[in-house]
């Protein structure tokens, strides 16, 4: 797609309301330049995250207009087409242009369809395999880590009591009790943050294998007899959806735990599906007034019945904070990690100043979503109701030509 020093990568300013992150930060510019890129950043793209234009130019990037950025060979974005398949930016996509970012490929596959229609090559980083080698590119984990941290701060700010235990002349103040539902990356981050604030923390996850990680952070792992069949899945794996019977039993067992805590952080999400409702209104009613719930899955339908994305509601004296795009509220550090994730991914598909989106690499194969004008990812095609793509014909090595005996051209004299 270009010769050395002519390949361009651009970071446009994000347009979704409340989105303050940026996909390229000054810290990764030097790496792109070394790889042969001209780095184009839309003026003001990093300002909300604490990165002024001058910070980019100091590192070798160029501040450009939005039109110039959108014309780059590679686009690094936080949210592809601003999550809207009808975004006016879709008409700017060029055939063969590479777009890297988050695209909600299973929840909103029409975004991938829009990119495919314009001939763009989309890499949706939510589809990264959960392998050790892919960890440095894992945007879901890097952003969930920050979301878990911020969730505890939101809860502590809304709780009408102190979080740590305090001994004063007026008596001892007991520490707050926190219950974290889901011990994935966000849950573990929430546990660690709550412990640092001095709270007593319990945690639950359908994957019993995360027990040691929970305990290593100083929390107690709550075990319910549900027979989920997910004992072998560690925190690096996604939890799978429970059956209706398992969910009903889980709610019954959990109600008693909820009645004795001050803060609940819910983090359970199933990729590409509506979040499971873990806490019903009846369960909320069992909590004491003044308690706080932070629902980190509110954007995906919510783990808590009655929660609303981006809103705080009160049910029976219990405050329920329905979060929306929590990482964007910690935009500086979220951008630093997100941008590094993308830079690590770009390194896989760039060689000698050229981009090869079909490089033979399992991470690239798992994340490529569109290519040559069509959706190529099997799971997304299935969600869209498209027929599976035919498997490529295996290359057949040509048969070797038969060996022919050498014939002498010498003439012999008759005797």
Question: Active-site residues: which are they?
Answer: 130, 135, 138, 141, 238
Distances (CA, A) of 121 to 110, 393, 413: 14, 22, 72
Q: Are 279 and 306 in contact (CB under 8 A)?
A: no
C-alpha–C-alpha distance, residues 327 and 234, integer Å? 24
Residues 23, 76 contacting (CB under 8 angstroms): yes
CA–CA separation, 248 and 257 (whole Å): 15
Only one residue has tokens 């945007």, namely 139
CA distances from 330 to 18, 78, 346, 369 (A): 11, 14, 24, 29
Residue 95 has φ and ψ, to the nearest 5°, of: -55, 130
Phi/psi for 313 (5° steps) reads: -120, 165
Cα(155)–Cα(263) distance, rounded to whole angstroms? 7
Structure tokens at 404: 């022919």
Degrees, nearest 5: CA angle 83-44-65:
80
């Amino acid at each position: 797609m270009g010769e050395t020093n002519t390949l361009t990568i651009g970071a446009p300013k994000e347009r979704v309301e409340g989105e303050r992150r940026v996909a390229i930060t000054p810290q990764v510019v030097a790496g792109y330049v070394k790889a042969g890129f001209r780095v184009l950043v839309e003026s003001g793209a990093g300002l909300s995250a604490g990165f002024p234009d001058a910070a980019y130019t100091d590192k070798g990037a160029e501040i450009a207009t939005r039109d110039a950025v959108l014309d780059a060979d590679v686009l690094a974005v936080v949210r592809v087409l601003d999550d809207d398949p009808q975004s006016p930016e879709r008409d700017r996509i060029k055939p063969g242009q590479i777009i890297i970012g988050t695209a909600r490929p299973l929840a909103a596959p029409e975004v991938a369809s829009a990119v495919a229609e314009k001939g763009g090559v989309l890499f949706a980083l939510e589809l990264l395999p959960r392998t050790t080698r892919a960890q440095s590119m894992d945007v879901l984990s890097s952003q969930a880590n920050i979301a878990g941290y911020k969730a505890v701060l939101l809860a502590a700010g809304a709780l009408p009591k102190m979080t740590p235990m305090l001994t004063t002349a007026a008596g001892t103040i007991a520490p707050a009790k926190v219950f974290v539902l889901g011990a994935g990356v966000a849950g573990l981050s929430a546990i660690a943050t709550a412990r640092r604030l001095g709270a007593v923390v319990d945690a639950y996850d359908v994957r019993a294998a995360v027990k040691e990680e929970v305990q290593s952070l100083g929390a107690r792992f709550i075990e319910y007899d549900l027979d989920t069949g997910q004992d072998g899945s560690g925190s690096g794996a996604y939890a799978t959806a429970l059956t209706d019977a398992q969910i009903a039993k889980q709610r019954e067992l959990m109600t008693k735990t909820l009645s004795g805590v001050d803060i609940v952080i819910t983090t359970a999400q199933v990729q590409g599906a509506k979040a499971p409702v873990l806490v019903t209104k009846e369960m909320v009613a069992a909590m004491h007034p003044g308690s706080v719930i932070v629902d980190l899955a509110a954007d995906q339908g919510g783990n808590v019945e009655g929660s609303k994305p981006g809103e705080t509601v009160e049910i029976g004296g219990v405050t329920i904070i329905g979060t929306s795009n929590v990482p964007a509220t910690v935009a500086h550090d979220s951008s630093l990690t997100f941008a590094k994730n993308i830079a690590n991914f770009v390194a896989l598909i760039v060689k000698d100043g050229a981009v090869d989106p079909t490089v033979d690499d399992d991470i690239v194969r798992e994340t490529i979503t569109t290519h040559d004008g069509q959706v190529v990812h099997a799971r997304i095609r299935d969600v869209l109701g498209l027929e599976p793509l035919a498997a490529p014909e295996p290359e057949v090595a040509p048969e070797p030509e038969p060996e022919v005996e050498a014939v002498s051209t010498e003439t012999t004299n008759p005797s």
